[in-house]
Amino acid sequence: MIPIKDNIPTDRFPAVTFALIVANVVAYVVAAAHGGSLISGPDGHELVRYGAVPHTLASGHRPDTIVTSMFLHASIVQLLVNLGFLWIFGNNVEDSMGASRFLAFYVAGGLVTLAVAVAVGPSSTAPIVGTAGAISAVMGGYLVLYRRARTLTLVLIPLFFTVIEVPTVVMLAVWFAVQVAFAATGLIDPVTSGGVAPYVSHLAGFALGLAMVRPLATRRKPTPPTAAVYR
């Protein structure tokens, strides 16, 4: 299932969400074009030089990777999936908070998930990259604000496709399942994704979003009727 849009309208252009997407795309293109962040390790895997390595951070070194890791992705698939979810759901959360609060909310989600990943596996030397930690907080916040929302979704089956509306709760569950599936199938190599710890930390980010969103979202919109909103 590929989300296309939700049924919650926005009043303002999501400038921060758009800027984050552009920054992630630029970082990926620059890394791919210049090889500045992707290098081959002795075990044959691609290691991300500017990813956040739990062992290094736990030792108090390379704090700069806390920031750089949030803008790097191990594969084009990971990039497109993460940014697709960020655009669809982040625009509504940003609209409910305003630009500055949303940016702080997003960054807090990324920092908390990374801190949990380091705490879970402090001896790990596998670099962690991607926006999934911050997006998990956005997902948690969205679920609190618009738990009855629906998402227009493209369903792809071999030789057949269709577009249907599904409850956004289902779509968020799919997002978590996709993250786990990527690691299990090798679409995101465990060496470049940091193993299990990032996926455990996503739960912490999601919980942070659940807890933080209400006091920040001062412009929450009513949920439209859930039936046949796209005709």
Mean pLDDT across the chain: 80
Q: What is the mean pLDDT of residues 1-9?
A: 82
H helices of 35-167, in order, are 54-58, 65-68, 76-97, 99-120, 132-145
Q: Quickly count: other Cβ atoms within 10 Å of residue 96's Cβ.
A: 23
Predicted confidence at residue 189, as pLDDT, reads 47
Q: What is the mean pLDDT of residues 123-151?
A: 88
How confident is residue 195, by pLDDT bands cut at 50, 70 and 90? low
Predicted confidence at residue 60, as pLDDT, reads 86
Which helix or strand (DSSP H or E) is residue 216 part of?
Answer: helix 197-216
Q: What is the mean pLDDT of residues 148-165?
A: 81
Top-confidence residue, 227 or 22: 22
Q: Quickly count: other Cβ atoms within 10 Å of residue 133's Cβ.
A: 30
Top-confidence residue, 136 or 3: 136
- Report the half-sphere exposure of 7 (CA within 13 A, side-chain side): 22
Residue holding tokens 């969205």?
142
Top-confidence residue, 228 or 198: 198
Could you tell me the residue ranges of all domains in the chain? 14-147+169-216
CATH topology of domain 14-147+169-216: Rhomboid-like fold (1.20.1540)
- Total H helices, total E strands in the chain: 9, 5
Please state, in angstroms and rounded to a whole number, the distance separating the CA atoms of residues 114 and 128.
Answer: 8
Q: Render pLDDT for 26-85 as a digit per residue (tens, 0 to 9).
A: 988 877 776 544 443 333 333 457 788 888 888 888 898 888 888 888 778 878 888 988
